[in-house]
Amino acid sequence: MASWNSVPLEIAYEVVGWIAFASWSISFYPQLILNFRRKCVVGLNFDFVLLNLTKHSSYMIYNVCLYFSPAVQKQYFDKYGYGEMIPVAANDVAFSVHAVVMTALTLFQIVIYERGPQKVSKLAIAIVSVVWAIAAICLFIALPTHSWLWLISVFNTIQVFMTVIKYIPQARMNFIRKSTVGFSIGNILLDFVGGLANYLQMALQSIDQNSWVNFYGNIGKTLLSLISVFFDILFMCQHYILYPEKKSSKSSEIVQDPTEPLVVDSSPENV
């Protein structure tokens, strides 16, 4: 197993990694707090949360297996060379476990708080069902030959796929409602910082090792950063430029179908 060539780069790698962990981990709390204060989840897309749970669960499986399993690590080194470093750090494992717990809590809030007429779509349920069915089939395929690296790469592919599609329902709902009320921008800002820090961490490791295997050896992590940053920028544009929140909407939002444009109180005192 490779070791670091530069102590400063190793230190920077750890610092940046934990910055990404902190930013991504804290990013779950603004939405949880917003839901708690409003006692309402109108404005938060339920498909987004469900797809996000599948995404983080598959990412957790990949990280935990590659970080802790000697058998998986051996297969990784056999494929990419023993001079390479494992592309999963302790902060990746910590983040993914924490993410599953926080996303599950958000789903629990959806169950107990006012949610209006919105429901999880049949399409989202179908996607999640198919994804886990494929994962189960791949498990049975991997068992006879002990192809553990291939199996966790399937979970890595799943998490990339879910990252690509999970933001779409929320972005679409914001567009239809012409509002981001109920969807925390704090979540997006922190996610943006985490995505940039995560990408920088990978770059630092590649510079130290003078090898870019870190990027294509863990293509899921690479795409995760790029896709997340893209959608974060989109949400920031929606929140600050396209649909800036009006003062009246904070106190006068009514519970309605979240697929409809946001309606606010137009009484004289709020005009």
Are the C-beta atoms of 125 and 51 separated by less than 8 Å? no
Position 46 scores a pLDDT of: 96
* Percentage of residues of the chain with pLDDT beyond 90: 55
Predicted confidence (pLDDT) at residue 249 exceeds the cutoff of 60? no
Query: Does 222 map to a domain?
Result: yes
Position 17 scores a pLDDT of: 82
- What are the respective helix, strand and coil percentages of the chain, to the nearest 5? 75, 0, 25
Match 């509002």 to its residue by tokens: 179
Query: Does 2 map to a domain?
Result: no
Q: How confident is the model over 72-122, as pLDDT tens digits?
A: 989 988 888 776 677 788 878 988 999 999 999 999 999 999 999 999 999
Are the C-beta atoms of 177 and 169 separated by less than 8 Å? no
* Percentage of residues of the chain with pLDDT beyond 70: 85
Domain count, the chain: 1
Q: How confident is the model over 10-36, as pLDDT tens digits?
A: 899 889 888 888 898 899 999 999 999
The encoded tokens of residue 73 equal: 């690590």
Distance CA 86, CA 235 (A): 33
Domain housing 65: 7-270
Position 9 scores a pLDDT of: 87
Query: Does 38 map to a domain?
Result: yes
Distance CA 271, CA 268 (A): 5
Calculate the CA 54 to chain-centre distance: 10
Where does 27-147 have alpha helices with state H? 28-38, 46-68, 70-80, 90-112, 122-145
Query: Does 190 map to a domain?
Result: yes
Predicted confidence (pLDDT) at residue 256 exceeds the cutoff of 90? no
Query: Does 48 map to a domain?
Result: yes
Query: Does 1 map to a domain?
Result: no
Position 127 scores a pLDDT of: 97
Query: Does 237 map to a domain?
Result: yes
Query: Does 99 map to a domain?
Result: yes
Are the C-beta atoms of 110 and 49 separated by less than 8 Å? yes
